[in-house]
Amino acid sequence: MGKRRLILLIAVILAVILIAVGGFIYYINSRPPVGSQVSPSVVTADKNFGIELFKNLISKDANDSVGTNMVFSPYAVSDLFAIVNEGTTDKTATQIQNVFHFPIDKTTLRQTYSDLYSLYNQPNSDFKLNVANGMWVQKDFPILDSYKSTIENYYKGNTANLDFIDATETSRQTINKWVEDQTQGKISNLFPANSIEKSTRVVLADAIYFKGTWQTKFDGPIPNFSFDNGNGAVNVNGMDLTDNLMYADTKDAQTVRLPYKGNQVSMLIILPKDKLVTAFQNFEQTFSSSTLSDIESSLKATEVRLSMPEFGFDNDYQLNPILESMGITDAFDPASARFSLIDGKTDLYLGYVVHKAFIKVTEDGTEAAAAAGAGMQATSMISSQVTMMADHPFIYLIQDNKTGNILFMGKVVDPSK
């Protein structure tokens, strides 16, 4: 690496189910008023990036005919790179802005993420949702006060100094411990052995944790729920619910929105109508922002009988090759990277970008956050009951209902794994 310095950037996300319902209140420091600075264009940008990342992740997934179970956090990755973007100039900045659809005006970006941070960390007795950002800097490595203050003031990033040169392993363990604490022990050893080196100068991390219960509890677990994973049927625990829900029947899919207690966060289940493996492959490959918009605009209050599997899994991604294929190349190139707004020089580049996620869904609740805009209206007309049998691969999103931001996204291919 020569005289080049290495900056490690990492996104950590987590969503976890509340199995034993209780009156949890998550206490945090007082936050500024929420809602006035959330830019719809930034939220739209995050949603667009999340769907594009989903499609790039499935293109790399060739373990079987329909891929594998997936969970990731569009919000966590975008939030992390909003912080990265604050330190960039020139072509490095342009590439990141293009891939993440960030506005050129960084003021709009930072105001939105500041407000989202406050929104997601508000105390709530119905569910537990919090996000956190952290930055660790080599103890004798000077970074610009302007960058440090931006991260602390707008992204609420906790900053600290470590000794990556003489205490490399201890530094790695310290950061991993912070991640584990922020995710209630669900994400451990985020940085594997030897991932942090003596050449490391800055490490960035963000984490999101959600724990909530369904607004209306499912019946279950129901044994021997038959799910066709594309290679045959597997029997897993299932769950049933009949309730007045927001439901859409579009050309290729049935969709239902499942609210969590408190009605600030919900899960969107998007089930292709055609059970054939080739049909699911085509559906996920052509899924787009306009597909999601059409679905969301078609949702209406309907009595739905829903049957679906319990599921739970985790994923670990090395995002360097994915982001490079999407168009971020200079940031990973020591000769081309421009992060001069971090340290005033051209000696930093991205070395290691990793993302971990965990999800578990049962009859009691789910992990993840959010749902798009329009909530269920008590005055909506109720149509006759429809049946939705989620017994084959489907896509899911967890959204923040107030902004429509996608906190978690993925697909269920085989709930037995």
- The pair phi, psi for residue 369, each rounded to 5°, is -135, 145
Structural domains in the chain, CATH included, are: 6-212+313-359 (3.30.497.10), 219-309+369-412 (2.30.39.10)
3-class SS of residue 30: coil
Helices 106-120, 74-85: crossing angle, 10 deg rounding:
140
pLDDT tens, 145-180? Answer: 999 999 999 999 989 999 999 999 999 899 989 988
pLDDT tens, 182-227? Answer: 888 888 888 788 878 888 899 998 899 999 899 999 998 899 999 9
In the beta sheet, which residues pair with residue 122? none
3-class SS of residue 231: coil
DSSP letter string, 264-328:
SEEEEEEEES--SHHHHHHHHHH--HHHHHHHHHH-EEEEEEEEEE-EEEEEEEE-HHHHHHHT-
Helices 40-59, 289-298: crossing angle, 10 deg rounding:
120
Considering the entire predicted model, what is its pTM?
Answer: 0.86
Q: How far is CA 221 from CA 217, 229, 233, 309, 408, in A?
A: 11, 20, 18, 9, 24
> Which residue bears the tokens 């978690």?
408
Average pLDDT of the residues in 375-389: 51
Average pLDDT of the residues in 385-412: 94
Cα radius of gyration rounded to whole Å, the chain: 21
Supply 22's token pair.
Answer: 């209780």
Residues for the chain: how many in total? Answer: 417
Tell me the pLDDT of the chain averaged across its residues: 83
